[in-house]
Chains A and B, each alone.
Chain A
Amino acid sequence: MLESSERGGVATQQIRTRDKDSLAQFLGWFSVGLGTAQIAAPKQMCKLVGASGEGAARIVMRLMGAREITQGVGILTRPRPTTWLWSRVAGDGLDLALLGLTAAKNRKARSAFAIANVLAVAVPDVYESLHLSRKQGEPQRGMLVRKAVTINRPRNEVEQAWAGAQELREKMLNVNAQVSFTPAPGSRGTELAVEFVQAPPAGDLGGAVLKLAGKDLATELTDDLRRFKQVVETGEVVRSDSTPAGHLLARQLRQRPAQPIEEAVR
């Protein structure tokens, strides 16, 4: 969590991140992607590794795909997926054995290429599994998110405006967010910072779904703070012809053309 301490007049902040690093996350998504391909297109995947693509080989390919997806989901949803990563290492062993059999049977160069690929991904699997095995203590489920904006007004004015922004304040209360106001250096106004722990349901998987929908809290907060800054500094939420409702990330990818609107939105 956030640890603030004053050392010789300089405030230092440490933001402790969760156990799972980007490599584990990558391996999780890799599993999901590979597994999906294996289930959706077993014939092509069989051909890719030098197998026949008929009968039993196809069924085995699909089963391995189901295994990959299970492992991927496990990695992406657990706060510290040590066991799931070791299961990937075991899966690599199984894949190598199956590919070895295929290579012995069909004698195709593609099988050798596939074996090289499995070996290549086995290295980060083992590395990350060992890395997570060394972790101790309670796993960190959430990530501390900090969003800050500088508003070009004195602190009391910003605080006053905040007191008036009831919807925004309620939202912060609902997610247990810490809100702080500090004067920005050199009369640059006031820094407004919001901190909260983000732990979406179903871990990274849930986080990705929310993010794609533009509904994750971090994104929403960024929008909210930007609009709050606009209101305090300029008195209004700025609208353009393509974004008549003002700044909302969720709408930014599906905009209307920059052309006057038939009916004015107030």
Chain B
Amino acid sequence: MLALLAAMVAAMGAALLLIAPGELAAQDMARMREYGDFPLVGARGAIWIAAQVHLMFAAFVLGVPMFAIVVEAIGIFGGDKRYDKLAKEFTRLLLIAYSATAIWGAILTFLLSSLYPVFWVYLTQIFGPSMWLYAGLFLVESFTLYLYYYGWDRWSDGRAKIGHWGLGILLNVWGTIVMFIANGWLTYMMTPPASVTPDTAPDQVQLWSAIANATWMPINIHRMIANVVFGGAIVGMYAAYRFLAAKTDEEREHYDWMGYIGNFIAIGALIVLPFAGYYLGREIYEYNQQLGITMMGGFMSWLWIIQAFLIGVLFLAGNYYLWTGMGRIPGAERFTKHVKWMLLVLVLGVIVWATPHTMIASRAEIAAMGGTHHPFLGALGVMSAKNTAVNLMILTTFLSFMLYRRANKIPVVNWAKSGTIAQGAALSVAAVVVVFYGVYGYFVTAIVRIGFSVYQVLAVLAAMLFVVALDIAMMRGAQSRGEIRWGQMPARSQYALFILAVTFTWLMGLMGFARSGIRQHWHVYEVIRDTSSQAATPALGPAATMISICVLIFLGLVALIFWLGGLAEKPAHRDPSKLVSAAPKPAPAVAGGDG
């Protein structure tokens, strides 16, 4: 009920605040103080923390239901109750996280209205009706979540179970609409329609044109995928902690399996995320070249080096977890010799990706470097090299996963050998296409070079789809070299899951800073100027400190939520009488298991 209460508080707060603007006359607006202050961290810091922590919880509660219904569907249509229980366990984590989302949303609303009252009124005058819809849908979403979770055992068979699954789908639908609405507000601040100028009165701005602005859909898509990545990583972290704290082998088995699923979801969605990011970046450039240049080559240029470093950590940690996990799979030994080469590709890829190219440099630095670009590293810093590096890293990670998936299987189809050769050829062709366009990119103009990245991406995606499709067909009825020994994972592998979750969370904060920061001293880019004393956009160092504070608050609250969730759980897998039936089953075929 806490979540529902919080949702109602948030909705009522928003509704009350929305009543005011319509009543305000122009002279009242003129008399209104423009900015408030907040102790210790200032107005900007307070909004930053509230918005970021709210977003982190929101990403979690929107991401988890997406894969919860997939896992539930595997349980329903695969006839495996184990997946149904896992989906319920995911959903239990949602309940308290949901109330935290609502509470932080209410905090953000109150802070915005008290610290940035004039700008808040401006936003409400444009987006008022969508805010009402948002509040209403939030309530509907809360009810749906409660029905979904508390109806789990009641509607567990036959048509009722399908109906229950439908509730999960509805939960996702409401959540997605809520996110899309809020995305309209924030993307309007970044890319308002060209027809809106500083002289445009807010009541003259068409609601739909304000919502469906240039970056609205790219952000919607990017966030949907990123939420799945984030949710998977947090679930993986939860499972890792429970694995480390497990008292019995059965608990270890269960949480090892759950951690694997969480990591699979996070890394699987992560592979697609750069493509959505590319789409978003392209739309930002299309909207306003200066905005794009500020993002990629202006005062934020170093941010992308940090981002490359973080994504390097994600790739390395994700692959490390897979390679360590192969130790518990009979037959995986035959692939161990390939690990060092895959590691080499990943490390070289990270180095290239993290090579700076166009940086803001002083004259002294330019003179010391011998030019605006480093004579050697400058060649590695261009997008041709970076795109090549990241596509090869994606292919390598995919190969890691395929080896993991095939480790304990012996295909029985008579075309297994030629199928494997075809898979190898597809990956090789993709790698050759990636390298070819990477090298060719150095000999063409920038506008042509940008188009090459599309060919590289398509080659990688096509190869992955082809290999997976072939593998599923090839492994039908495959013999097993032995069951995966769930639970027999070294503790260090679980710390990799923690590093993944912390890195994903920090990366989310960093990208939030990038997206919001490119507006610089504008509340609404080139429309509403930020005239407060804190209008300057901070450098990366102070921003990183703020991001770490937000991550600490979020993870601290998540730990509390997990602890509360643990108090409420019925420890079925701790009950010795139920341990046999609760023993983990292989992961589904698509997730690399035998099931």
A and B from one assembly? no
